[in-house]
Amino acid sequence: MSRPQKGDSRNSSSTVTEFILVGFEQSSPSTRALLFTLFLALYSLAMAMNGLIIFITWTDPRLNSPMYFFLGHLSFLDVCFITTTIPQMLVHLVTKNHTVSFASCLTQMYLVFGVGVAECILLAFMAYDRYVAICHPLNYAQIMSQKVCVRLVCSSWIFGMVNGILLDYMTFRGPFCRENHIENFFCEAPIVIALSCGDPEFSLKVIFMDAIVVLLSPMVLIVTSYARILASILRRASSAGRGKTFSTCASHLTVVVFFYTSAMFSYMNPRSTHGPDKDKPFSLLYTIITPMCNPVIYSFRNKEMKGAMGRALGRGSLAQAESV
């Protein structure tokens, strides 16, 4: 598809009905083949590990606690998040047609926004859960009851989906009647807004303000929770207790650093700092690397998770042996 002329948008009667995801189009065939193999392996690994965590946290009675309840939902969000972008990128790496319809782009962006915001909020709730467990252990069961946990998870989903409607509207509210090439492997809001015929500044400001709410507000809760956790740990005399608590909290903080820093770069940086060479690495970080790292970080730093995984895999091997 040829690029539309960038003439005066007021005199242009044609409107964009599809977009072209440039992605890795300019890479050599051998490079695209290597990227396809790499991203397919990462996607398969992320899906398998998150799927395993979902299975064991929802079926293993020994993991019947709020922390694992939240972890199961975090893995489910990661599965949804990674599936909105990576399969399409894999197809585009092996085909020449990189065209996506207007409706497909809008839908993909809504899912990225909705699931991404839900994950931001859920990570904050997980930090609060750790704070209550460590700083108020006697009241933990009462404060973090099953009803409270369900409400927290539902509120993160609802806020994410409603927020996605707002951000989708701000991205696509103006007409698109000139450039239709998106310099990324999926429909990312700041890049799409820049292609609008109208003035993009208002939409970018709204998205920036929204990012302050959905990124910085949970960050404040996370930092506050872990500051109090750290103060509580330092007052403890037992070095063994400190080490176990630090190990649990360090895994969550690692996830937070990966996810929030990449999202902040994409949605809170000035427009002049964006570019294909800068956007793609950060987009890859929060769309595929973070969902893949979450189960690795939580499972390998947690004895209960490693034990549950061993039991789940052991049952699978035993069932397979019996069937043979």
- Whole-number pLDDT of residue 322: 44
Rounded to an integer, what distance in angstroms lies between the CA atom of residue 210 and that of residue 267?
Answer: 9
CA angle 193, 172, 88 (to 5 degrees): 80
- Whole-number pLDDT of residue 239: 65
Rounded to an integer, what distance in angstroms lies between the CA atom of residue 101 and that of residue 109?
Answer: 12
The region, left, alpha or beta by phi > 0 then psi within -120 to 50, assigned to residue 15 is: beta
Does the predicted model carry a pTM greater than 0.85?
no
18-302, what's its fold? Rhopdopsin 7-helix transmembrane proteins (1.20.1070)
- Whole-number pLDDT of residue 186: 86
pLDDT of 106 over the 60 cut: yes
DSSP state of 100: E
User: pLDDT confidence of 215, banded at 50, 70, 90?
Assistant: confident
pLDDT of 143 over the 90 cut: yes
- Whole-number pLDDT of residue 149: 95
pLDDT of 124 over the 70 cut: yes
pLDDT of 13 over the 80 cut: no
Kindly report which listed range (119-128, 234-243, 250-259) carries the lowest average pLDDT score: 234-243
Rounded to an integer, what distance in angstroms lies between the CA atom of residue 290 and that of residue 154?
Answer: 22
DSSP state of 27: S
Determine which helix (DSSP H) or strand (DSSP E) holds 65, and give its type and residue range. Answer: none
- Give per-residue pLDDT as tens, 306-324: 777 777 777 655 444 444 4
- Whole-number pLDDT of residue 270: 57
Spell out a b/e string for 43-81, using b for 16 or more CB atoms within 10 Å of the CB, else e.
Answer: beebbebbebbbbbbeebeebebbbbbbbbbbbbbbbbb
CB 84 within 8 A of CB 43: no
What is the DSSP track for 230-259? Answer: HHHHHT---HHHHHHHHHHHHHHHHHHHHH
- Whole-angstrom CA distances from 261 to 64, 209, 257, 269, 282 are 31, 17, 6, 11, 9
Rounded to an integer, what distance in angstroms lies between the CA atom of residue 294 and that of residue 52?
Answer: 12
- Whole-angstrom CA distances from 262 to 182, 259, 273 are 19, 6, 14
Kindly state the tokens that stand for 147: 């009803």
Beta strands in the chain (DSSP E): 18-21, 99-101, 181-182
pLDDT of 171 over the 70 cut: yes
Determine which helix (DSSP H) or strand (DSSP E) holds 152, and give its type and residue range. Answer: helix 146-172
Rounded to an integer, what distance in angstroms lies between the CA atom of residue 180 and that of residue 280?
Answer: 18
> Which of 27, 25, 26, 21 shows the shortest CA–CA distance to 186?
21
Per the model's pLDDT, the better-predicted residue between 39 and 251 turns out to be: 39
